[in-house]
Amino acid sequence: MNRTRMGSGLAIALLISLSGCSASSRELCNGTDLTGWTKVGGGATYAVENGAIVGTRGPGPNTFLRTNDIFDDFVLDLEFKWDIPINSGVQFRSRQKPGDGRVTGYQCELDHSDRRWTGGVYDEAGRGWLAPLNEKPEAMSAVASIYEWNTLRIEASGDRLRTWVNGVPCVDMVDGQDAEGFIALQVHSSPDEGQIRWRNIRIRSLSQH
């Protein structure tokens, strides 16, 4: 496994737009194939179409397309939209449990439902909800349409975790359980059809060295 260490301790002071990402950021998807990624979990499928990663619901438990690289402190920017509504999320600082290989760790929720908790933080296969959005109406309204492209930003700097959806602050929390891990795109298990897309997936190191 390739291993990318990104240092710790440097927080960004200004939220910048997706188009304004630093030149030091790099694409996690090459826009052609899934080089650098590995599918784990259930039977959902992932493919690259028109430069976007498309996740389609399949049989079995939750499915994840995870990076082969490991990251610690970073800013992650991407865009997402649904073709067919289904629960999803973006894992970060995540890992696979010994034995059954189940993915666990922080997840930034992508919530197609009327609950509208996109941008909230959940501990997958762990402690459950760490930062729901039920008391943040502005965050709950950040996604105007699930069928249009929306932007997501995740910042992990030391034990401070922050998220934004379409530039709207959603979560600003402190939690020191996981300091590093992979990034993964989730297709949640469901008896129904579902499909979601992610594109322009870029990561910028907060390393001081």
- The residue extents of the domains of the chain are 18-205
pLDDT at position 189 over 70:
yes
- 3-class SS letters over 26-95: EECCCCCCCCCEEEEECCCEEEEECCEEEEECCCCCCEEEEECCCECCEEEEEEEEEEECCCEEEEEEEE
The average confidence (pLDDT) of the chain is: 91
pLDDT at position 208 over 90:
no
Digit-coded pLDDT (tens) for 191-203: 999 999 999 999 9
For domain 18-205, the question of CATH label 3.40.50.2300 is answered with no
